[in-house]
Amino acid sequence: MSIQLHIHSSREAAIRIVAQEIASLVRNKPEAVLGLATGSTPIPLYQELVRLHREEGLSFRHVTTFNLDEYQGLDRSHPESYWNFMHRHFFDHIDIPAANIHLPGSRVAEADMLSHCMAYEEAIRAAGGIDYQILGIGRTGHIGFNEPGSPADSVTRCIHLDAITREDAAPSFGGLDQVPTSAITMGCGTILSARTITLMAFGEGKAEIVRKALREPITDQVSASFLQNHPAASFQLDLGAASAL
């Protein structure tokens, strides 16, 4: 197993390291391609990158981004859409051109789904592939929205959300019945094609799924376990998330 494990004294310490990695990538390669994630975990990372932009002149003018996933059936302006999330927490506060930002659509018609997903894959390829992919981890062990059963070579597609995932999202949507039932997600294969991958997990609530992803045999029941085989993947954990290892 080549995966690197970094256990930090605090979430803030982990965030600083990841932000510095991204900053030095972008300084060395201004046209870097970043794979971005949503959820509560990366919010402080985006705050730190915004700080580096404002205070230390870190420019995203030539950076291209691809987000992992997007709910289906919401307007982009919906507060819980990932398009909205990413603009609110990150894009609105940096100098990235709108044309360099990519997220899957949030209201893709069934008839257009395959071509939409193939076009997303093609756009990643045309940009030169993802240099640095940020990940969180869901309670089902998913990366992006690759729920249990997602094959290692899966590509961008529409996926039915697991009951646990929808339950976890219910409070922010104001009730389970408000949570979309499906999403478009990069596949495990799409994610594993990134040159460098950093999974962040904080808090004891993540300890058990982090243990499964790192310490149990690779299985499509825990898509994060596929990272064990990636040549340049790391887990950045705080003490809580590492407490079951």
- Residue of 106, 165, 190, 236 that binds ligand GLP (CB under 6 A): 165
Least Å distance, CB 164 to ligand GLP, is 10
Helix, strand or coil, per DSSP, at residue 114: helix
DSSP state of 111: G
Nearer to ligand GLP, 69 or 238 (CB): 69
Confirm or reject binding of residue 68 to ligand GLP (CB under 6 A). Answer: yes
For residue 70, state whether it binds ligand GLP (rule: CB under 6 A): no
Q: Site size for ligand GLP, by CB under 6 A?
A: 13
> If DSSP codes are grouped into helix, strand and coil, which group holds residue 135?
strand
Nearest C-alpha neighbor of 35 from the set 61, 67, 59, 6: 67
Site string for ligand GLP, 117-136 (x = CB under 6 A): -------------------x
Phi-psi category of residue 119: left, alpha or beta, with phi > 0 → left and psi -120 to 50 → alpha? alpha
Cβ neighbours for 28, distance < 8 A, ≥ 6 positions apart: none
Binder to ligand GLP among 15, 19, 22, 37 (CB under 6 A)?
37
- For residue 69, the cross-strand partners are 185
Q: Confirm or reject binding of residue 137 to ligand GLP (CB under 6 A).
A: yes
Q: Is 41 in the site for ligand GLP (CB under 6 A)?
A: yes
